[in-house]
Structure 1
Amino acid sequence: MMGALELVGESRCFGGRQLRFAHRAASLDCDMHFAVYLPPQAESEPVPVLYWLSGLTCNDENFTTKAGAQRYASAHGVALVAPDTSPRGEGVPDDPEGAWDFGLGAGFYVNATNAPWSAHYRMYDYVLEDLPAALAGLPLDTSRAAISGHSMGGHGALVIALRNPGRFRSVSAFAPICSPTRCPWGEKALGNYLGDDRAAWESYDSTCLIRLAGEHLPMLVDQGEADGFLAEQLRPELLREAAQEAGYPLTLRMQPDYDHSYYFISTFIGEHIAFHASHL
């Protein structure tokens, strides 16, 4: 045990430690797991933090086991923090039809306002409040923080960074759901979690938020051109248009022949960590 945390897994990795914790999350009213990679530099001083938000169907372990990120985090002296993607456990509702794009594994990083989802599905608060509080006993300098993610998690990273000036030094995303108010995945999730008032959805749409942003964070987005979800669900052209209209300094890189998988993420994750390290 470490304070309110229960250490449930530990492995040596690139001179640092890959850890997995369990804790009670007040905002979600359930028990949660999250992963932390501490680079070797954390043995002598607090290190900056890169939060990683994963995509649909994922949990806290997908990124840590598939992305190969620890090698680069070790080299740059950056900790990696990867939470789960939704509340879990007995009493937490799931999609009534058992679909993979809503409910368990698909929290969309929003604070649900509709029953029955509102009792547990508050991933926005969890990432901003519960998770940093749970890290308090670790050798981390959470005042130097960046945020990144993939797909649904890319959406979450962009939205959380844009809505919280001063909390993060930089933001990046792989194949983010750029405008959930204008794609089937987002319309299903936001309609269920938030209700029918589409105006309320805009506070979780990065293409809306970027037009209102008072802080211009360094922002890097990578999108594979062979991604099967590109045209219908991800729509990076909408993010580019919004950034251009707002004068927001977005770097959007379209990567030929890459798809939506962790093969894509593992190819460019080193560049993303270097990008964040330069701002941390």
Structure 2
Amino acid sequence: MKNITVIGSGTMGNGIAHVFAQYGYEVSLVDISAEALQKALQTIDKNLSRQVAKGSLSEADQAATLARITTYTNIEEAAPKADLIVEAATENIELKKKIFVQLDSLAPAHTILATNTSSISITQIAAVTKRPDKVIGMHFMNPVPVMKLVEVINGYATSAETTETILALSKNISKVPTAVNDYPGFVANRILLPMINEAIYALYEGVGGVSEIDTVMKLGMAHPMGPLQLADFIGLDVCLYILRVMHEGLGNPKYAPCPLLVNMVEAGHKGVKSGIGFYEYQAGNKELVVAPRFR
């Protein structure tokens, strides 16, 4: 594999593009917004500069990495040259299906189609293509340049050859791939989101306050970040969506989202991205300021 196309230039998309380009791959970064693409390149440059400052990357490598990334505002130009396409669009199944129908019609027959989804069925996405054996999940962790794990998700029809190719590719970019099967939430969110949801229930039921709950988990369980702060970082709307996917897909009431989470999202309190969630944040800064009072 030499040419990687990444669909979506948001937080995950630009991180995925950054890593592939850093390890020598030619990357086509696609977004419908030229402004979003420009912002993505600025973010990648900023993150590369951090690596240079830490001594893990040279200035020459930074320049070479950026030179390997080409931006496009339409899929038609980028898809035909790809050996692998990684879709990192909004977590919406209908949108992803629409993108995969288009990718299937544009990409060469050998191209593997991957999705960075954190919860949506790989099998359902693959079913809208004529190459379900070449459709797979590549669930990168945020922030992509820092986090080592890639959850590699096999759809029902994903071939062993496709899986082995993606596992090897992930190792080539210094990630640690772990193969799992296609059930709601996969492994990472199947375990993580119920913990976050239970922390929200503990707050909702008055068992403890925001900082108290997070302190218990950080100091008592050696978690680097408390579950409520982590939920803010992920995005409360994303947490709600994943819980609903698991609740519907598994039919188990233990995955039902806490009413407090539902209310917060409906009120527009989505965490870091909106400036307020379980904590309040300054604009453009992910550092928490204060835990607001809850009713």
How does the TM-score come out when normalised to structure 2?
0.28
Larger proportion of helix: 2
- Report 1 or 2 for greater relative contact order, CA contacts < 8 Å, sequence distance ≥ 6: 1
How does the TM-score come out when normalised to structure 1?
0.29
Larger proportion of strand: 1
